Amino acid sequence: MAEVFFSRADYQRIADFLKERLGRIPAVSIILGSGLNPVAEELEKEASIPYREIPGFPVPSVAGHEGCLLTGTISGFPVLVLQGRPHYYEGYSIQEVTLPVKVLQVAGVKVLIITNAAGALNPSFKVGDLMLITDHINLPGMAGLNPLRGPNDEALGPRFVDMVNAYDPRLRSLAQKAAKKAGVELQEGIYIMVAGPSYETPAEVRFLRLIGGDAVGMSTVPEVIAARHGGLRVLGISGISNVIPIQPGEKGPDHQEVLEAGKKIVPKLRALLRYLIPMIYEMGV
Ligand code: HPA
């Protein structure tokens, strides 16, 4: 089957629909990962659109991702929230996975806060910890699955994208300041993307640790690449949902555990955002 690549006109059509429905598009957007949908309760809500009502928008099928776009304010500042995301393992193409980010870019979003649930590789991490992503390893991407593969429209971004400062140093420093004010501990580390949906074997976990990973998950990285291609500034935060066994015979992670961990992660993330969003606007977007 021929691969489908989206054009700027495809993104623009959806962006125009959103502008029409929402009136204004906030400069700051947040993507909420598995089990983290209730973070949206931090929002003083103005509007919401289920993904299924947005023409051409991929609708996630997995439990814990309801698929709803919300706008409103956090601590008085405007934010657009994507509650739920499509994953590659659901059968979406890597272009479909990153379509929402390209739509946000075309609609005028400047700062993207990307969250996810991730398994801990770093033995000092506990379930419920927050980890600021400092860098990533794109395992599917290094094996060929990069969202920028295919024709490049220079109006959307350059052919070859610099990823050295993909996780914006200024935003990271603001996030650490906001965490201190909120009284939330914020770990830092490297996120490794795997395609999923099967979890890692003990040998794979040892490999992921060996190559320098602190957390592993099945999302985020394609979105970060698409955002950086479009010049958006990115902050990435993993909520540690499980610690992964490295010995055969131990009990492995399950999706219910990942969703349950959300209950520990959500209040911390809400507190962090309460301080962080105003700081981002004060810095200038
Ligand atoms: N592995 C991969 N992806 C994940 C995990 C994990 O242990 N937990 C949450 N997402």
Token readout for 107 is 């609609």
pLDDT exceeds cutoff 90 at 257: no
Give the pLDDT score at 211: 98
Bond before 197 cis per omega within 30 degrees: yes
Give the pLDDT score at 122: 96
Backbone angles phi, psi at 58, to 5 degrees: -70, 135
In this structure, are residues 220 and 136 in contact, taking their beta carbons and an 8 Å threshold?
Answer: yes
pLDDT tens sequence across 201-235 = 999 999 999 999 999 999 999 999 999 999 999 99
User: How many angstroms from the chain centroid is the CA of residue 153?
Assistant: 23
Task: Show which residues are catalytic.
Answer: 34, 65, 87, 89-90, 117, 218-219, 242, 255
Alpha carbon separation from 61 to 17, 121, 193 (Å, rounded): 23, 27, 20
Give residue 1's pLDDT band: very low, low, confident or very high (50, 70, 90): low
pLDDT tens sequence across 61-76 = 866 456 999 999 999 9
For ligand 1, pick from 258, 260, 265 the residue to mutate: most ligand atoms within 8 Å of CB: 258
CA 153 – CA 7 distance, rounded (Å): 8
Helices H / strands E in the chain, number of each = 7, 9
pLDDT exceeds cutoff 90 at 190: yes
**What number does the ligand 1 atom closest to the CA of 117 have?**
9
Least confident of 109-123, 233-247, 253-267: 253-267
Q: Which of 43, 58, 41 is nearest to 6 (CA)?
A: 58
Residue with tokens 């920028």: 148
Residue with tokens 């806060």: 113
The residue whose CA is least distant from atom 4 of ligand 1 is: 217
pLDDT tens sequence across 146-185 = 999 999 999 999 999 999 999 999 999 999 999 999 999 9
Query: Ligand 1 pocket: which residues have CB below 6 Å?
Result: 117-119, 194, 196, 199-200, 216-218, 241-242, 244, 253, 258
Token readout for 28 is 């700051």
User: How many angstroms from the chain centroid is the CA of residue 253?
Assistant: 21
Mean pLDDT value across residues 2-24:
93
In this structure, are residues 55 and 17 in contact, taking their beta carbons and an 8 Å threshold?
Answer: yes
Taken in order of first residue, the domains within the chain and their CATH numbers are 8-283 (3.40.50.1580)
3-class SS string, 209-238: HHCCCCEEECCCHHHHHHHHHCCCEEEEEE
